[in-house]
Chain A
Amino acid sequence: MTAAIAQNGPATKFAGPSASSSVLAKHRQELGTFAVTLPFFAYTACFLLAPTIIVVIGAFQTRDGGFTLANFSKLFEPNTVSAFVTSILVSIASSVIGAVVGGLASYALVIGAKPNGLLRRMVSAISSVLAQFGGVMLAFAFIATIGINGIGTMLIKQMTGLTVNPNWLSSLSGLVTVYCYFQIPLMIIIFLPAVDSIRPQWREACESLGGNTYQYWTRVALPILAPRFISAFLLLFASAFSAYATAAALFSQRSILVPLMIQGAMRNEMDPNQQGFAQVLAFAMIIVVAIVMLLSHAVEKRAGRWQ
């Protein structure tokens, strides 16, 4: 703001010849625009760009500040590799389940319903809450359901006599189930607009041309939905891959996922053997998520043709 006012002075002084004044005015306007956006860019530079740069530099830095690639050797230690494999497997499994179930649910919400029907609005409002419902509270929800003293555990025991393994929640299939709890609502939010863009007329056109349901799905609906489905799947993958709080609340000690390893590395930062380890892991995570996001953008561009 102050810059815009300061610019006001000279411009009014030189307001003589009309040509130069319009050029000046344009200049002044551009400078004013830039000045107003300055706080935004300064802020994001401090709290978004600077941390990212610290991570990237830290990944290539030795203890006394020199350049090195040695930190990256830790990425190939069996522990780290298995954490990455587990993280990616859990993310893929939960995103596949989330994408399929969420996709079906959004289809079910759209077919034969009013665009702004009560059921649909209710489900999408609930979904937007539950998609944010990660972390500690989600862990509590599942501990209350199938933890050692969970309600589900007890009901199953009373009804069938089977005992649910109390450690099931901290197994991989348990973790996938917990992650699905925010993946399915997330998919519903992302995918509903895509299903909305399917026109009932297309199905009717398909029928009047003699196509049956199978042909409609394989030749018309799925090819149109596929790019949006894939990009939604990739977004789900990124969200599962970067989720930390839920896993942290479920596993207090074991570092079986990359985010949990980062936590461990941050806590042991003073250990000379851990030098740069958190930064290297974080750097690798950025790379994975960035690749996934780029793919998602590329696929989305293809989908844009049908909008």
Chain B
Amino acid sequence: MAVSETSQTVKVPATATSAKGAADTSAAKPPQLRAARVRKQSVIKFVILFVTLAFLFIPLFSMLVFTLRHPLSGRWSLAPWVAIFTGNGESLGADLTVLWQGLGTSLALCVVTVVIMLLLMVPTMVIVHIRSKVLERAIEWVATLPLTIPAIVLVVGLGPIYRWLSADVLSTNPIWLCFAYVILVMPFAFRAIAVGLNSIDVKTLVEASRSLGASWPKVFFRVIIPNLWQSILSASFISIAVVLGEYTVASLLGRMNLQVALYQLGQSNSQISTAMSLLALLFGVVLLVALDLISDRVRKSKEGK
């Protein structure tokens, strides 16, 4: 909105000056030049966006066609999709138990990771936001550190820790991957929550409710959380998207999750695993479009204030 308005308001003075210097023919040029520029711009814009989007969509389209057309016989069928939705891959000679096991693990991991992440991040970030700028900086630094330490590096160090954990403390159950995943989602979750914290006046809210006699837990659950729910939701969504797409840590620690299962299934039946990848991607699109709508609502309610 702002852009189109300003460009229009500026066009007016430009034509005004040309009208003033009506005798001067060269002064009449700028508006036409600008129109030509805008036309040229829109052609360039169209070409760039078309090429970029084509590059992004052709592989997705190919995936869809690949699932529908048997690569060797060339026959078209819905068999891979039927296999996924009925849970029975026998018609294609594929054993889907690995896939269901991986999917179940990944979904459980999403839940556990999100819960641990929220318990760990939200109270800490809220209290630090109110009380201590220094600690807030420290937490920001630590929480965004996983962006600098690649997952493949982290897994080298996590190897011994997980060997000890699975032998002496816990089991080899893939659900314990959640500890590593919380670290992986931390930078994204931190950003989402920080946006929410900065958009509301936490300090005033806390002081107001404390002076009205609310206890700390009450302040936290009845005042802070309801004001932060959008950013908590977006932190959870982005964490789910990251956990569903995680392959590095699970495969190198030898645990089964959705991506490892997709990879294994891909060795024997690439059609089913491609179809499943498309579904996972679609789920990601739904999650992140929902996220976009939420952040749009946050923006609007903020502007409305």
Contact = CB atoms under 8 A, between A and B. Distances in A.
A298 interface: no
Query: Chain B binding site: helix, strand, loop or mixed by DSSP?
Result: helix
Interface of B: 1-4, 6-7, 10, 14, 30, 37-38, 41-42, 44-45, 48-49, 51-53, 55-56, 58-63, 65-66, 69, 71-72, 120-121, 123-124, 127-128, 131-132, 135, 139, 142-143, 145-161, 179-180, 182-183, 186, 241-242, 245-248, 251-252, 259, 262-263, 266, 270, 273-274, 277, 280-281, 284-285, 288-289, 291-292, 296
B161 A51 contact: yes
Contacts of B59: 141-142, 144-145, 181
A6 B192 CA distance: 33
A134 B123 CA distance: 32
A126 B44 CA distance: 21
A55 interface: yes
B62 A152 contact: yes
A136 B58 contact: no
A13 interface: no
A194 B155 CA distance: 34
Interface string A260-301: 001100100100000000110010011001100100000000
Interface of A: 29-30, 33-34, 36-37, 39-41, 43-44, 46-48, 50-55, 58, 101-102, 104-105, 107-116, 119, 121, 123-126, 128-130, 132-137, 140-145, 149-152, 180-181, 184-185, 200-201, 204, 207, 213, 238, 241-242, 244-245, 248-249, 259, 262-263, 266, 269, 278-279, 282, 285-286, 289-290, 293
Contacts of A53: 157
6 contacts: A108-B48, A112-B45, A114-B3, A129-B241, A136-B266, A144-B270
A33 B128 contact: yes
A129 B247 contact: no
Contacts of A108: 44-45, 48-49
A140 B14 CA distance: 54
A248 B262 CA distance: 13
B256 to A, nearest CB: 13
Contacts of B149: 48, 52, 286, 289
A51 B158 contact: yes
